[in-house]
């Protein structure tokens, strides 16, 4: 029998780690998991379906060997806007020069290049900005024609083939899912991933399209990386299952001084709704080539934890960097250290959401207060679809949260959620169960993980009758004997 205490994370915030060329073998993926990864990200902007299928197989193999559920996030590329090709592969644009973007597929030069996205030309107005190559070059639209834009170079530099284009001042009439995305999305869902990362969302309708395709097979995690998405934050949060603060593209399209404030705004609103939020991009960027992070990067991770984010994410650090295991290890250490500090506890208490006027919220709010009063080491939440566990997480209790569910799919999704230690059960959450039965199983689960001792009291939250979604109405305190 596996020692379950060996894989119990001593922290609440979760770690998402991207797999890639530096982390494709079973040995490395298992090392990353043991170092602290809770959810692995498959980036469909790179690699083949065969690459992702093999990584998926390895993760599920490790899951079986360790007995701990692991979440898998498929990050869909979305509509990437790019310029065409140049005759010499690149040009140098000078400040003040006039540069034309048009639909002509001919090779470009220092005066013009193809922009194979008619939607940009149709949406542009004089004064609109175009940011090229992650914002390194900047153009301002001066004139708009039927099939071209005449722009002035405001920040020049070298522009080469297929560099990306960002349009922060335009809402483009394009769907969030391209033809490639539809293929990738269906492949990922058939594979059995737990989360779909939806890129370049502008409107809630973009999320609803992906949810209709998913049809409940995976949670949709909306990547907040465009100003238009921030403008529609409330309506997007209503329909999505979770969000990611994707600070890379967000930082290109917004002034850098705005990004930290937007991060706080997204985290607070997502927390108020009990929806998981991931903070991503450049968290430990220097560890792509260095075995240790900068002090600023360590502070960045700590800030996300202090703000109450459900998870922090590694991208190139674990996918293509020289020190993937070290990056996960130091992120794990930062989170653990922050959460042991008294100021973290005070912040979690100060930012706790007020319960809504319903029985389920009243039950989990009461559970949190009982845990605090009794110094209970754990609260056990029985959940059918994950709703009770999400509610319990939203309370940010200082006690460990164990979620027991009959569904391995639900358990894997809860691997992303703050404070949740997801476990599967074949015995509880079915109509024939008694209250005594689930209380006994709750005691057994916490004892198996070696977090309780004789005389400790734990709190149990569930819904009666068992096996019905949305029926959280029971709370019980029990003593370990």
Tell me the HSE value of 231 on the side-chain side, using a 13 A CA sphere. 10
Q: How far apart are CA 263 and CA 261, in angstroms?
A: 5
Nearest of 161, 67, 66, 59 to residue 109 by alpha carbon = 161
Cα–Cα distances (Å) from 424 to 193, 399, 427, in that order, read: 17, 20, 9
Q: Name beta bridge partners: 98.
A: 152
Phi, psi of 20 (to 5 degrees): -170, -160
- Beta strand 137-144 with 195-198 is unpaired
Q: Which of 281, 445, 472, 478 is catalytic?
A: 281
For residue 320, the Cα-to-chain-centroid distance in whole angstroms is 19
Q: Which of 223, 325, 394, 396 is catalytic?
A: 223
Degrees, nearest 5: CA angle 19-24-28: 95
Q: How far apart are CA 122 and CA 170, in angstroms?
A: 10
Q: How far apart are CA 78 and CA 385, in angstroms?
A: 28
Q: How far does the chain reach from its first CA to its final CA, in angstroms?
A: 22
* Burial class of residue 77 (count of CB atoms within 10 Å of its CB; 0-12, 13-18, 19+): middle
Q: Is 223 a catalytic residue?
A: yes
Q: Is 186 a catalytic residue?
A: no
Determine the number of helices (DSSP H) and then strands (DSSP E) in the chain: 17, 21
Q: How far apart are CA 229 and CA 222, in angstroms?
A: 9
Phi, psi of 196 (to 5 degrees): -115, 120
Degrees, nearest 5: CA angle 262-267-273: 130
Q: Which of 9, 11, 41, 391 is catalytic?
A: 41
Helix (H, G, I), strand (E, B), or coil: what is residue 417?
coil
> Which sequence positions are flagged as catalytic?
41, 82, 223, 281
């Amino acid at each position: 029998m596996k020692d379950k205490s060996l894989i119990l994370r001593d922290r609440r915030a979760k770690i998402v780690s991207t797999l890639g060329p530096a982390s494709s073998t079973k040995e490395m993926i298992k090392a990353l998991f043991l170092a602290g990864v809770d959810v692995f990200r498959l980036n469909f902007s790179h690699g083949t379906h065969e690459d992702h299928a093999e990584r998926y197989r390895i993760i599920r193999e490790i899951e079986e060997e360790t007995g701990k559920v692991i979440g898998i996030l498929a990050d869909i590329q979305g509509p990437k806007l790019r310029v065409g090709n140049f005759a010499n592969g690149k040009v140098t644009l000078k400040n003040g020069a006039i540069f034309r973007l048009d639909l002509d597929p001919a090779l470009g030069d220092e005066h013009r290049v193809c922009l194979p996205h008619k939607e940009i030309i149709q949406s542009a107005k004089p004064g609109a900005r175009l940011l090229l190559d992650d914002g390194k070059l900047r153009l301002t639209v001066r004139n708009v024609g039927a099939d071209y834009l005449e722009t002035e170079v405001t920040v020049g530099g070298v522009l080469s083939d297929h560099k990306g284009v960002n349009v922060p001042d335009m809402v483009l009439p394009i769907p969030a899912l391209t033809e490639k995305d539809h293929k990738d999305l269906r492949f990922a869902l058939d594979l059995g991933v737990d989360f779909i990362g939806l890129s370049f969302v502008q409107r809630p309708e973009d999320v609803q399209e992906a949810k209709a395709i998913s049809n409940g097979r995976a949670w949709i995690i909306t990547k907040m990386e465009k100003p238009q998405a921030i403008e529609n934050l409330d309506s997007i949060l209503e329909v999505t299952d979770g969000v990611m603060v994707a600070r890379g593209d967000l930082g290109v399209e917004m002034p850098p001084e705005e990004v930290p404030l937007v991060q706080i705004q997204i985290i607070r609103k997502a927390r108020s709704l009990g929806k998981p939020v991931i903070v991503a991009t450049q968290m430990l960027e220097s560890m792509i080539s260095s075995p240790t992070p900068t002090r600023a990067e360590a502070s960045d991770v700590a800030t996300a934890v202090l703000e109450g984010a459900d998870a922090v994410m590694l991208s190139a650090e674990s996918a293509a960097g020289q020190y993937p295991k070290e990056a996960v290890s130091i992120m794990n250490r930062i989170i653990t250290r922050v959460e042991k500090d008294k100021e973290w506890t005070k912040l979690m208490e100060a930012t706790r959401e007020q319960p809504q006027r319903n029985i389920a919220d009243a039950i989990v709010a009461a559970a949190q207060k009982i845990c605090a009063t009794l110094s209970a080491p754990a609260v056990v939440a029985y959940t059918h679809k994950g709703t009770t566990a999400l509610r319990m997480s939203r309370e940010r209790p200082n006690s460990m949260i164990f979620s027991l569910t009959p569904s391995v799919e639900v358990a894997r999704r809860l691997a992303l959620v703050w404070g949740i230690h997801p476990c599967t059960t074949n015995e509880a959450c079915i109509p024939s169960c008694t209250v005594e039965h689930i209380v006994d199983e709750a005691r057994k689960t916490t004892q198996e993980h070696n977090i309780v001792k004789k005389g400790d009291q734990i709190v149990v939250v569930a819904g009666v009758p068992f096996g019905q979604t949305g029926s959280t109405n029971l709370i019980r305190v029990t003593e370990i004997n």
